[in-house]
Amino acid sequence: MKPESINQPPKAKAATAPAVHLQTIGPEEAGQRLDNYLLRWAKGVPKSHVYRIIRSGEVRVNKKRAEPTTRLIEGDIVRLPPVRLAEPAQMAAVNSAQTKSRARGYSDKMPILYEDDALLIVNKPTGLAVHGGSGIALGVIETLRITRPELKFLELVHRLDRDTSGVLLLAKKRSALVEMHRQIREGQTDKRYFLLAHGEIVQGSGVMQLKFPLHKYLLPNGERRVRVDPNGLPSHTALRVSQVLKREDVAITLAEAQLKTGRTHQIRVHLQKLGHSILGDDKYGFEDQDKVIKSKRLYLHAHLAGFTHPRTGEKMRIESPLPEEFMAMMKGFEPAPENH
């Protein structure tokens, strides 16, 4: 399933010239980063421009320069410079009947795993980005805002790669978002993934602790990549082998990865470094081996999220079963003997 891009219509002439605005941060906006606040406010403005006006000092918080990572608190006064926001014609195109129809189609393939007045937790399908951008008109967040217009506030608690499926948390209240981000920051959440990897991973006794430091960089075309680098950020994945499967001279391994840190592409790069890339990984995988076993997708699935409910304090454990594509792939192999 590939979200489609939409052609942007010509910009309509603005009725009034853009002007400086002073916005007072209320309780529902408090706690978020300045860059995230601006990206929501500046609909239709390129992300690069939003960061440029922050760094140039055109955006001020309480009359002072601020960083993109500055956390806003209730009562802060944010100076918003003159910026040409999306015109009505553009917004109408985004909310066209065709786009709404496509959003309903995506929504139908995204079952709700849990919902209350604070949280919305969905089972994200593979191939659907969590948010739009770079030619993608609709991601999870846009889809849900279109299909659930009664939700006045809806934000992603965390992200999943476009081709990763599984448990995805969204907050319906700013206070819930702030509390969930605190839990993630302080390592109080439990995020586990099922994966299928190339080859036989020999675990030995106990759980494998992968602690390869990771460094983010950009390819010449601007695409983001990550590599293991001694000077990179510390990262930690706990890997448990569930089953080794074999077919003639080909082996694959079903394993569970538990995130101890949440770096970009962390599990994928850790498995690559281990020499057992995830099946169907077009960035860090083995293309020739994927062709041999006919990988149909990235075989990485977020199957469990454990956390404390931001409103009730209840211990939560949300699970998503192993996808059908995993089961279909595994059926083509035989379990390896325990003592092979």
DSSP letter, residue 277: P
Examine the domain organization and report whether 229 and 280 are in the same domain: yes
Assess whether 108 and 75 both reside in one domain: no
Exposure of 125 by Cβ count < 10 A (0-12 exposed, 13-18 middle, 19+ buried)? middle
Domain of 128?
A: 89-178
Residue 183 domain-assigned? no
- Judge whether 297 and 163 are in contact, CB under 8 Å: yes
In a domain, 169, yes or no: yes
Shared domain for 140 and 226, answered yes or no, is no
SS3 category, 41: helix
Looking up residue 27, the CATH number of its domain turns out to be: 3.10.290.10
Q: Give me the residues paired with residue 257 across strands.
A: 193, 239
Active site residue 249: no
pTM above 0.85, yes or no: no
Q: Looking at the structure, tell me whether residues 147 and 196 fall in a common domain.
A: no
**Computed over its alpha carbons, how large is the radius of gyration of the chain?**
22
- 239 plus 321 within the same structural domain: yes
Q: Is residue 140 part of a domain?
A: yes
Residue with the two structure tokens 């002439």: 13
- The verdict on 307 and 201 lying in the same domain is yes
The pLDDT assigned to 46 comes to 77
The β-bridge partners of 305 are: 191, 318
My answer on whether 269 and 288 are in the same domain is: yes
Number of separate domains in the chain: 3
Whether residues 94 and 71 fall in one domain: no
Among 154, 178, 202, the domain boundary falls at 178
Q: Distance from CA of residue 116 to its chain's centroid?
A: 21
| DSSP-assigned beta bridge partners for residue 218 | 224
- Relative to beta strand 300-308, strand 165-171 is parallel
Query: Which residue out of 161, 163, 281, 290 is catalytically annotated?
Result: 161
What single-letter DSSP state applies at residue 122?
E
pLDDT value for 12: 43
| 10-residue averages of pLDDT along the chain (340 residues) | 44 55 80 84 76 90 92 89 60 66 90 97 95 77 92 92 96 94 94 97 87 93 90 96 93 96 95 97 93 93 98 97 96 80
Looking at the domain assignment, is residue 156 inside a domain? yes
Residues 98, 90: Cα–Cα separation, whole Å: 14
Q: Residue 65: helix, strand or coil by DSSP?
A: strand
